[in-house]
Structure 1
Amino acid sequence: MSALTIGFDLDMTLLDTRPGIRATHLALSEETGTYIDADLVVTRLGPPLTQELANWFPADQVEAAADRYRVLYRDHAFEPTVPLPGALDSVAAVRAAGGRVAVITGKYGPNARLHLEHAGIAYDALVGDLWAETKGVALRELGAAVYVGDHLGDIVGALAAGAVAVGVTTGPYGAAELTEAGAHVVLADLTEFPAWLAGYRASDRS
């Protein structure tokens, strides 16, 4: 029998990346002379970076802006980023159960890896640059039984993979919106996840 695999989103699920993302957008704005409302940006994290940058840059400049953002990110984003409440304990609970932790994120993969290392979050698989249904492809390939995320796109990904969709209200959406999107369960934050996981495993064995 294969090990239980639990997938987690990164931004606003495992890590509060808002300060670092805000700082990086401000640095990009200053360098390029293009106005970016960084405070607005951090209220709607989740979709691909290029989708956000398209709000501020002409279409023919978006890819170059994204490339530069990813470089600036390494100087501005890691230090102010901290694990969200319960993140470390949730990962530990999966591992204590003999499970595998898979981080499936829309973030650029190499920067996601550095984030996890800086935060001291252990993982067994990491796939970046995915969003909504494309997250579902990776979850299915990894055999993930559960996917935990804060965004409606995360719920879409979990459902596309046939995984249990666990929503957390640490991002831009509340419990009602996550439930309406199809979440099977909604938690206030990851402090509630270890107990939920214990109940899930118990019911799965019964």
Structure 2
Amino acid sequence: MGFDLDLTLADTRAGIAAVYRALSAETGVPIDTDAVVRRIGPPLEEEIAYWFPQERVPEMAARYRAIYAGIAIPATVLMAGARESVEAVRALGGRVVVVSGKNQADTERTVRHLDLPVDVTVGGLFGPDKGVALREHGVSVYVGDHLGDVDAARAARITSIGVATGSFDAPALTDYGADLVLPDLRPFPDWLTGRYDGRNANGHPEGRPDGYSDAVPDVHR
């Protein structure tokens, strides 16, 4: 079972905003951290390019990564339902694979900080590029908050579950092609149990637990 990290398992908003405030203080460049937080997901260099000229993007991206661990990780907390979702996978004998756009070192640090029982962490991939790692590690379902995570699942030819906890709401994720959309991870353990215990796909007689997007009543088996 595959999961994205930022705004899927990990609430990194406060930490990321703090890192950008530090960059702003160091450089004197005004940065709208609310705008930054609204765009969490794509590669770091894309966000840096909103605030610095192209020739400074490599320098500022390197500086961001240098200070990230000390500033952002202590401020990172779990998203609602994250621990329960990971533990539900493990309870059924499954493997948990985190594939993130965050660099490898900070992906690993974040998972350790949150004390999540994860089997594999892969960082530095976004969108369809994640599909290679998902296939390599035998992932059958990928859960994420971003349209790029739908692209990742599509590239790997696996089930895509969207969670409306990031930049995109449930209709946007549904319209983009997620197989199933949840408001957050809290309904995920019920869906998982249902998928793997022989009942219907989400494990509820009525067809979906509270919070499911009505636009997508089921997922591919």
TM-score range relative to shorter protein? over 0.9
Note the C-alpha offset of 1:137.
1.2
Note the C-alpha offset of 1:204.
9.1
Give the share of equivalent positions with the same residue, in percent.
Answer: 50
Q: Distance in 2 between matches of 1:30 and 1:46?
A: 23
2:132 to 104, 128, 137: 137
Q: Which runs of 5+ in 1 are unaligned?
A: 1-5
Q: Which residue of 2 aligns with 1:3?
A: none
Q: Distance in 2 between matches of 1:161 and 1:201?
A: 21
Q: Distance in 1 between matches of 2:14 and 2:130?
A: 25
Amino acid at match of 2:31: I
Note the C-alpha offset of 1:73.
0.7
Q: Which runs of 5+ in 2 are unaligned?
A: 201-220
Q: Which moved more, 1:29-38 or 1:67-76?
A: 29-38
Q: Does 1:57 align with 2:52?
A: yes
Q: Which residue of 2 aligns with 1:27?
A: 22
Note the C-alpha offset of 1:147.
0.2
SS in 1 for 2:161: strand
Report the TM-score, using the length of structure 1 for normalisation. 0.94
RMSD: 1.5
SS in 1 for 2:135: helix
Q: Distance in 2 between matches of 1:122 and 1:64?
A: 34
Amino acid at match of 2:150: I
2:182 to 184, 187, 195: 187
Q: How many residues align?
A: 201
Q: Distance in 1 between matches of 2:69 and 2:197?
A: 41
CA pair 183-203 structure 1, distance change in 2 beyond 3 A: farther
Instruction: Summarize deviations over 1:147-177 as a string: whole Å, max 9, x none.
Output: 0000000001011101110000111111111
Q: Displaced runs of 4+ in structure 1, greater than 2 A?
A: 202-206
Report the TM-score, using the length of structure 2 for normalisation. 0.88
Q: Does 1:149 align with 2:148?
A: no
Note the C-alpha offset of 1:202.
3.1
Q: Which residue of 2 aligns with 1:98?
A: 93
Q: Distance in 1 between matches of 2:30 and 2:195?
A: 47
1:139-178 maps to which residues of 2 (within 5 A)?
A: 139-178=134-173
